[in-house]
Every structure is written in structure tokens, then in C-alpha cells.
């Protein structure tokens, strides 16, 4: 826009316009361009009085340019059409028709005032015809533009209604999922309780240590399934308050290893656990569930013969739990989407396990991040803040 304004000033200078007039044209062009740039775009339903001030400035600048280059005979007379057309796209149709009627009346009166029986047009008659033709062109063009703006407003209204409808539908689906999840938890609660009771009976009758250990793992898995159902419910309800207590990191990680070692053996995956012990202030159940979900995902992503390494550290910067696997890996884009509800790299998976893990870790003020590349495996890092560390008691 500034280039166009400058080109008009340069063109006037090349045509022999005086220095004073060129400076006046430069000032008018600057005002015109700045006012054009700050004028509100068409498309709003209504405009306040402040919205028309830039158009008034454009009109004043155009008048200055016209007066400086010959008045009625100025070649820049068409510039007056710009602010008029822009204002017509911002007012209602009744205002446009009223303004057009007033301009028509003014032109007719001017014609009778300047017209005289003569075979040739006088300067006044020429000016009246020029202004009238400009007004007609403005009215036709402005009316067309106004119709296009009205169409855009209508389309924007339709899109807004579609968006609102989609939001309402999404809310209905969310409520439907909440009801379905609640019903599912209720329906599965009794069968899980029955299974747990039967396994406990068999565990009490176990004759050897190996069978006892296996049945204990089954009991642990039943409890984990019940906890998983509660996790599904947490997706439909606000997060509940964590039950914080003193937790030994080493014992917690040993419990995690005991819960997942059976899956690792069944999948033919080597599971390795190593780390530094320390005391945390955390909800042991929530934190263990989160770590189990992360480790199980790594086991499922690792082919037979692969390895999953779980290492944990306890230091001045906080607690870190790193789960590395030798699986197929993921692209950066896929890794960034892990943890999104209903997104999973596993066929038939829901991705809710990672969501639940992230939720539990976030409740502890921590983070869960994935780093991966195709063919190089995946590294999941759980970082817990140092604020969770149990304060060390001074020795006597």
C-alpha cells in the first residue's frame, strides 16, 4: 500500500506538478494509506462510530489530493470512490439507499443549476456528469460488495452454528462415555470380587511355594484390574485427591517388577531392574499403577528376545524412573501423540493406559515424556520433583 501511494506521488511529479503540490500529494497519500490500513475489515454485523473515523480520514485525504490537482477536472477524482465504497460495505442497506437517494437529488439539482441550452458541455455540466457517473459506479460496485459481505456473514453464522452443534454433540458423547464407563465398572466389580475370592481360596490351599507365588501374582493382577477400572472412571470425573504417605522407592519398584515379570516371561522379553533407593511422599497405589502401565507398554512394544531396562535414581534434582526398550520405536510425531486419549500404536489399543499414567504422575507434580526413533527403541522418562522426597531426620 505504501508503494502504491508513493508511485502516485512520483507519477504526479513526472507529469510536471509543482513542488508544493507534490508535497501536498505526499501528505495526502500518507494519510490515505495509513487510514486504509487501520480501517476495520468488512464482515461484522455492526460497527461503532470509531470504525468510520479512518474512512473520514481517507475521504479528507482524497479531497486534498483532488483539490491540489485541479478540482472538478482532477484526474484523481476517482479516489473519492474508495472511502465511499468502503463505508457502504459497513452500513446497512437502508442507509445505503437513503444516501444514494440524497446524492441523486443533489446531482439533479446541480444539473438544473449548471445546465444551459448549448450544443457543447460546459465545465460545470461536465463535472456534474462525471460526478454522477462516479456515483452510479460506486453504487453498483458497493452494492455488489455488500452482497458478498452479507453472504460471508451468513456463511460465518452457519459455521458458528455447526461448531456449536459439534460442541453440544461432543458434550453428549462425553456424558454417554461417562455413563458407559460407570456401568462397565459396576458390571465388572462383582465378577472381579468373585474371581479374587476363588483365587484366595486356592492360594490358601497351595502346597508349594511356586504355586503360591503365582497365585499371589494373580491376586495382584485382579487388584490391578479393579484399579484400572477406577482409572477409567477418573477420565470421566475430576481427579481425586491422592492419599500421600511415606513410600520407599526400592520397595515400590520391586512390587512393579513382581507384577510385570510374568508378562515379560510370557512375551519372551528380558526384564532388568536397577536403581537407587530413597523415601518419597506419594500415593503408592497411583504411582505404582502409572509405572506398571509404562513398563507393560514397553514389554508389548518389544519383540521376543528383546530387553526392557528399568532404572531409577534418587538425587538432589528429584526422582527419575527411566524405562528403555529395544522395540520397533516410533517417529517423533507418533511419540508426541502418545498419551492422547484413544491413540495407540498397538492394534486394538485405546491409549488410555498412558493417559492414566500421565494423570497419576501429574498429580504428584511430575512428568512423563517419550523419546523414540524408528528401529532404535523407545525411552520413557518419569520425572518426580524433589519436593516429594521424604525429609531426612537428623541422627541423635
The CATH class that applies to domain 245-388 reads alpha beta
* Dist CA 396 CA 394 (whole Å): 6
What pLDDT was estimated at residue 309? 93
Q: Which three cell numbers stand for residue 193?
A: 470380587
* Dist CA 282 CA 242 (whole Å): 8
Closest CA to 181 of 341, 307, 15: 341
Q: Taking each helix axis from N to C terminus, what angle separates 123-205 and 209-236, rounded to the nearest 10 degrees?
A: 150
Per-residue confidence band for 276, with pLDDT thresholds at 50, 70 and 90:
confident
Quote the DSSP letter at residue 40. P
* Dist CA 51 CA 58 (whole Å): 12
Closest CA to 35 of 56, 54, 12, 11: 54
What pLDDT was estimated at residue 47? 73
What pLDDT was estimated at residue 323? 93
The pTM of the full predicted model, rounded to 2 decimals, is 0.44
What pLDDT was estimated at residue 238? 43
* Dist CA 296 CA 302 (whole Å): 10
Instruction: Give the rounded percent of residues in the chain with a pLDDT score beyond 70.
Output: 68
Q: What is the pLDDT of the chain when averaged over all its residues? A: 76
Instruction: Give the rounded percent of residues in the chain with a pLDDT score beyond 90.
Output: 7
Q: What are phi and psi of 245, to 5 degrees?
A: -155, 175
- For 121-145, the DSSP string reads --HHHHHHHHHHHHHHHHHHHHHHH
Per-residue confidence band for 321, with pLDDT thresholds at 50, 70 and 90:
very high
Domain ranges within the chain, ordered by starting residue: 2-158, 177-236, 245-388
What pLDDT was estimated at residue 286? 81
Higher pLDDT, residue 95 or 339: 95
Quote the DSSP letter at residue 318. E
Q: Which long-range contacts (CB under 8 A, 24 or more apart) does 92-97 make?
A: 93/146, 96/139, 96/142, 96/143, 96/146
Given a contact cutoff of 8 angstroms between Cβ atoms, the answer to whether 2 and 36 are in contact is no
Q: Taking each helix axis from N to C terminus, what angle separates 284-301 and 352-363, rounded to the nearest 10 degrees?
A: 140
Residue whose grid cell is 475489515: 41
pLDDT average, residue stretch 51-63: 82
Given a contact cutoff of 8 angstroms between Cβ atoms, the answer to whether 314 and 277 are in contact is yes
Amino acid at each position: 500500500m505504501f508503494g502504491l501511494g508513493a508511485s502516485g506521488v512520483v507519477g504526479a511529479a513526472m507529469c510536471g506538478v509543482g513542488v508544493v503540490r507534490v508535497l501536498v500529494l505526499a501528505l495526502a497519500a500518507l494519510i490515505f494509506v495509513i487510514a486504509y490500513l487501520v480501517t476495520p475489515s468488512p464482515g461484522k454485523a455492526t460497527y461503532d462510530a470509531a470504525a468510520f473515523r479512518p474512512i473520514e480520514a481517507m475521504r479528507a485525504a482524497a479531497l486534498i489530493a483532488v483539490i491540489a490537482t485541479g478540482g472538478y477536472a482532477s484526474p484523481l477524482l476517482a479516489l473519492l470512490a474508495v472511502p465511499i465504497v468502503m463505508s457502504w460495505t459497513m452500513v446497512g442497506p437502508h442507509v445505503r439507499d437513503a444516501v444514494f437517494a440524497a446524492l441523486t437529488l443533489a446531482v439533479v439539482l446541480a444539473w438544473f443549476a449548471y445546465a444551459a441550452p448549448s450544443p457543447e458541455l460546459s465545465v460545470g455540466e461536465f463535472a456534474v456528469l462525471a460526478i454522477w457517473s462516479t456515483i452510479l459506479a460506486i453504487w453498483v460496485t458497493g452494492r455488489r460488495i455488500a452482497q458478498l459481505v452479507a453472504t460471508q456473514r451468513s456463511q460465518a453464522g452457519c459455521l458458528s452454528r455447526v461448531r456449536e452443534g459439534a460442541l453440544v454433540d461432543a458434550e453428549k458423547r462425553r456424558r454417554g462415555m461417562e455413563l458407559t464407563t460407570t456401568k462397565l465398572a459396576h458390571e465388572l466389580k462383582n465378577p472381579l470380587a468373585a474371581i479374587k475370592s476363588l483365587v484366595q481360596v486356592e492360594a490358601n490351599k497351595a502346597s508349594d511355594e511356586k504355586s503360591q507365588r503365582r497365585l499371589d501374582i494373580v491376586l495382584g493382577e485382579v487388584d490391578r484390574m479393579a484399579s484400572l477400572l477406577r482409572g477409567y472412571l477418573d477420565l470421566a470425573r475430576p481427579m481425586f485427591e491422592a492419599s500421600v504417605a511415606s513410600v520407599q522407592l526400592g520397595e515400590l519398584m520391586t512390587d512393579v517388577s513382581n507384577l510385570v515379570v510374568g508378562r515379560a516371561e510370557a512375551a519372551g522379553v528380558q526384564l532388568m531392574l536397577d536403581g537407587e533407593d530413597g523415601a518419597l511422599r506419594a500415593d503408592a497405589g497411583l504411582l505404582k499403577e502409572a509405572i506398571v502401565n509404562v513398563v507393560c507398554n514397553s514389554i508389548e512394544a518389544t519383540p521376543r528376545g528383546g530387553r526392557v531396562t528399568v532404572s531409577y535414581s534418587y538425587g538432589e534434582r528429584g526422582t527419575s524412573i527411566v524405562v528403555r526398550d529395544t522395540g520397533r520405536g516410533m517417529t517423533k510425531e507418533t511419540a508426541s501423540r502418545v498419551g492422547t486419549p484413544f491413540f495407540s500404536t498397538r492394534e486394538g489399543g485405546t491409549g488410555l493406559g498412558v493417559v492414566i499414567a500421565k494423570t497419576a504422575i501429574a498429580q504428584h507434580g511430575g512428568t512423563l515424556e517419550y523419546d523414540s526413533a524408528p528401529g532404535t527403541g523407545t525411552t520413557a522418562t518419569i520425572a518426580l520433583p524433589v519436593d516429594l522426597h521424604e525429609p531426612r531426620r537428623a541422627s541423635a
